[in-house]
């Protein structure tokens, strides 16, 4: 017997499947990033975006 929670979960799974399908075969691509020294704090970071590490992006409200 399906209660509301089961129905809700089934709907979420279906919506997720539709999103996956809509995305097609394009693999997930993270935002352009590179490893190196942060332009803002100078700390090495494995993934700089726009030259800034994650903590600095957070601090400065960068994407």
The residue ranges that bind Zn ion (CB under 5 A) are 38, 40-41, 53, 56
> Quick one: 40 or 49, whose CB is closer to Zn ion?
40
| Choice between 23 and 36, CB closer to Zn ion | 36
CB of 29 to Zn ion, least distance (A): 23
Compute φ and ψ for 47, nearest 5 degrees: -145, 95
The percent helix, strand, coil of the chain (3-state, each to 5) is 45, 15, 40
Q: Which two tokens stand for residue 49?
A: 């975006």
- In angstroms, give the least distance from the CB of 28 to Zn ion: 25
């Amino acid at each position: 017997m399906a209660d509301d929670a089961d129905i809700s979960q089934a709907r979420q799974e279906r919506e997720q499947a539709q999103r996956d399908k809509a995305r097609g075969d394009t693999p997930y691509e993270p935002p352009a990033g590179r490893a190196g020294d942060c332009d803002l704090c100078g700390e090495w970071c494995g993934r700089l975006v726009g030259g800034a590490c994650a903590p600095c992006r957070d601090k400065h409200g960068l994407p």
